[in-house]
Amino acid sequence: MPDDRRWADRPLVQLTLMRAREFFREPEAVFWTVLFPILMTTGLGLAFRSKPAEAGRVAVLGSAPEAEAVAARLRSSALDVAVLDDSAAARELRAGKVALLIVPQPGAAVEYRFDNTRPDAVVARRVVDDLLQKSSGRTDPVSVRETLIREPGSRYVDFVVPGLLGMSLLGSGVWGTGFPIVDSRRRRLLKRLIATPMPKSGYLFSLVISRIVVLVIEAGALLVFARLVFGVPFRGSLVGLGLICLLGALAFGALGLLVASRARTLEGASALMNLSMVPMWVMSGIFFSSTRFPALFQPFVQALPLTAVNDALRANMLEGATLTQIAPELGIVTAWLVFCFFAALALFRWQ
Amino acid sequence: MPAHAVEIRGLRKAYRDVVAVNDLELTVHAGECFGLLGPNGAGKTTTIEICEGLTQPDQGDVRILGERWGGRRTNPGLRRRLGISLQETQFPDKLTVGETLQLFRSFYPRPQPLEEILKAVELGEKRRGRVGQLSGGQKQRLALACALVADPELFFLDEPTTGLDPQSRRQIWDLIEGVKQAGRTVVITTHYMDEAQRLCDRVAIVDHGKVIGLGTPRELINSLGAQHVIEFRVGAATELSDADLLALDGARTVRRRDGAYLLESAHAHRTVPALLGFLSARELALEELGTHSATLEDVFVHLTGRMLRDA
């Protein structure tokens, strides 16, 4: 049938406008999608500023022989040293308020009490030991010169920005696609829409288009902010970065579509959304590397779409990897996209 | 145009073990306003949604404007000719009235101009108002406006006035009258007998998924053989026998409700004096007396033994 309508009167345009209006007229949605990742970046960037590893506070057990003398020898350096009685020492050591407890022993001996899984305790043990040994007359046979290197790209903020971008794509993809669908089904709007001659593909594509529009805004805002405020590097191609974001956003959008394919209530949908997202929040390397999980879990961890997206983003931004180098990650994301999309189409209910 | 807008034969639909529609037969003529009247749960909505191609029937043949819904019930050609208002659709709160209508206009190749639709439903002033801010009656008029956008041949309106105040109901009725004047076919479901009586050319009374009465409102009322209902109450602890009451001039049937007697009569002007004479002869005190013209409500009660509203 010849169609002489203006482009603005086409279903795809009107359906996309509906999504956009619903999104931008909901201040909370804009906050969570755009501002939240930026606030997280700011907070984490400030909290984990690059600074020298610190020894933390150490204590000498007051009831031990020579306690005050040992404390005086340590205080001559920049260390924060306290002298504590037995109960205070035990309490503060347990609470982590002191990193290391020094218990001088009779004769030229000393005992260190500390938790070797705590980085500041390990540093404290080394620093305190060096000070005590040197002040007791140890001489080091090898002379040492230190050259310090602090480069953008190896800081925590550089690590965490791609992770937060991936997390943001996941959240807005699943939530931003799933929530409006379930809400429309609950309101019987979906049913009303299919009672018209609306092309169903138009409905689907309006979801895809609005997803891309929101992606450009959320990813753009976060990356520009990270670049300008924290100097986070972009070592790979921006086209490649855009492609990873696009593929990730579509895959997470398809996951949202799948999660929302049947749910009739917002409560039920929320449960499914959290169920699908929590494993990725924990394991997909947002705040710390996913390689920290035991080898047994790795096949599962590596197969998660957010792990692949985060790894690809980091490889692109921090290492300048080409698309060929991140092909395995892109393959995993594409597989999720295809699987979720077709599963959602098969399961989808309009009423 | 086929003479029949809707033809339903042997329609059956069950949800798990609940039979919603049970061997239902209906024909709606082109150009008439047809009412499906029945209590909640009678199967009205299931029937109309099968007609709208939104629900798949278990059995039966349904033809809408001479066409059948395909297996996937998409048939956009047929959908363009229908105007639909579902029970309880909530349009997006964040959109304005104008934006909502533009959305629905975009689904049809030759929609009505926006201004005309807004004028028809008297929402011109609300064009830029958010849907979430509208009153119940305004929301329902918006739902009808969405059904009107393509000037369809056949309207399916599922309980268009349920839950509205009297003034909003009258506004909706005027709107539907307008659609009737334009020669369109309207199928409406309702559990308000006054609505069916006022709007519908013909009414099917539906109960337990079956049509139990069919005709014009006048025909249905006449089928009672009684134009009037006389409702009265006598002093406590007095039992009147049916036979005595039916012997009164013009009395046709007797029913009892909450201690009151309902006497259906062909001629109230003869039955009422006879009743008064009967009561005074027995020295019984009349506590309450009222008459009303028989309504579809009385037809429903006559057919089912239950009231529409508490059925």
Higher-pLDDT residue of B303 and A5 is B303
Question: Residue A1: pLDDT band by 50, 70, 90 thresholds?
Answer: very low
Task: Specify whether B123 is located in the same domain as B197.
Answer: yes
What is the structure's pLDDT at B240? 85
pLDDT tens, position by position, A103-115? 998 888 899 999 8
Q: Is the ipTM of this complex over 0.90?
A: no
Every domain of chain A and the residues it spans? 7-48+152-347, 57-135
Task: Specify whether B208 is located in the same domain as B259.
Answer: no
| Domain around B60 | 4-219
Spell out which residues of chain A touch residue B77, defining contact as CB-CB under 8 Å. 197
Q: Which of B94, B105, B109 sits opposite A21 (nearest CB)?
A: B94
Spell out which residues of chain B touch residue A190, defining contact as CB-CB under 8 Å. none
Q: Is the CB of residue B84 less than 8 Å away from at least one CB of chain A?
A: yes
| Mean predicted lDDT score pLDDT of chain A | 90
| Mean predicted lDDT score pLDDT of chain B | 89
CB contact under 8 A, A192 and B146: yes
Answer yes or no: is B299 within a domain.
no
| Domain closes at, from B219, B248, B279 | B219
Q: Is the CB of residue B181 less than 8 Å away from at least one CB of chain A?
A: no
What is the structure's pLDDT at B252? 86
Beta strands in B174-276 (DSSP E): 185-190, 202-207, 210-215, 228-234, 251-257, 260-265
pLDDT tens, position by position, A185-204? 999 999 999 999 999 889 99
CATH value at residue B82: 3.40.50.300
| Domain closes at, from B219, B241, B261 | B219
* In the predicted structure, residue B172 carries a pLDDT above the cut 60: yes
Question: SS3 string of chain A?
Answer: CCCCCCHHHCHHHHHHHHHHHHHHCCHHHHHHHHHHHHHHHHHHHHHCCCCCCCCCEEEEECCCCCHHHHHHHHHCCCCEEEEECHHHHHHHHHHCCCCEEEEEECCCEEEEEECCCCHHHHHHHHHHHHHHHHHCCCCCCCCCCCCCCCCCCCCHHHHHHHHHHHHHHHHHHHHHHHHHHHHHHHCCHHHHHHCCCCCHHHHHHHHHHHHHHHHHHHHHHHHHHHHHHHCCCCCCCHHHHHHHHHHHHHHHHHHHHHHCCCCCCHHHHHHHHHHHHHHHHHHCCCCCCHHHCCHHHHHHHHHCHHHHHHHHHHHHHHHCCCCCCCHHHHHHHHHHHHHHHHHHHHHCCCC
What is the structure's pLDDT at A242? 96
pLDDT tens, position by position, B84-131? 999 988 999 999 999 999 999 999 999 999 999 999 999 999 999 999
Question: Residue B310: pLDDT band by 50, 70, 90 thresholds?
Answer: low
Which residue of B101, B103, B155 to mutate against A (max A Cβ within 10 Å)? B103
Higher-pLDDT residue of A64 and A333 is A333
pTM for the complete prediction? 0.81
Q: Which residues pair with B230 in a beta bridge?
A: B263, B291
Q: Which of B82, B91, B108 sits opposite A189 (nearest CB)?
A: B91
What average pLDDT score do residues A36-40 get?
90
Task: Specify whether B209 is located in the same domain as B64.
Answer: yes
Answer yes or no: is B134 within a domain.
yes
Task: Specify whether B105 is located in the same domain as B133.
Answer: yes
Answer yes or no: is B302 within a domain.
no
Residue A60, number of CB atoms within 10 A of its CB: 28
pLDDT tens, position by position, A257-269? 999 999 999 999 9
First to last CA, chain A: 29
Chain A's closest residue to B53, CA to CA, is A195
CB contact under 8 A, A198 and B107: yes
Task: Specify whether B157 is located in the same domain as B180.
Answer: yes
Answer yes or no: is B298 within a domain.
no
Spell out which residues of chain B touch residue A192, defining contact as CB-CB under 8 Å. 84, 86, 89, 146
Chain A's closest residue to B96, CA to CA, is A21
Question: Residue B49: pLDDT band by 50, 70, 90 thresholds?
Answer: very high
Fold for A57-135, please state it. D-Maltodextrin-Binding Protein; domain 2 (3.40.190)
B218 vs A351: CA distance, rounded Å? 38
Count structural domains, chain B: 2
| Domain closes at, from B169, B198, B219 | B219
Task: Specify whether B229 is located in the same domain as B162.
Answer: no
Q: Please answer whether residues B12 and B22 qualify as being in contact, where contact means their C-beta atoms are separated by less than 8 angstroms.
A: yes
pLDDT tens, position by position, B196-234? 999 999 999 999 999 999 999 999 988 887 788 899 988
Higher-pLDDT residue of A18 and A154 is A18
* In the predicted structure, residue A69 carries a pLDDT above the cut 80: yes
Task: Specify whether B209 is located in the same domain as B267.
Answer: no
Where do runs of H (alpha helix) occur along B124-208? 136-148, 166-181, 193-199
CATH value at residue B277: 3.30.70.980
Spell out which residues of chain A touch residue B90, defining contact as CB-CB under 8 Å. 187-189
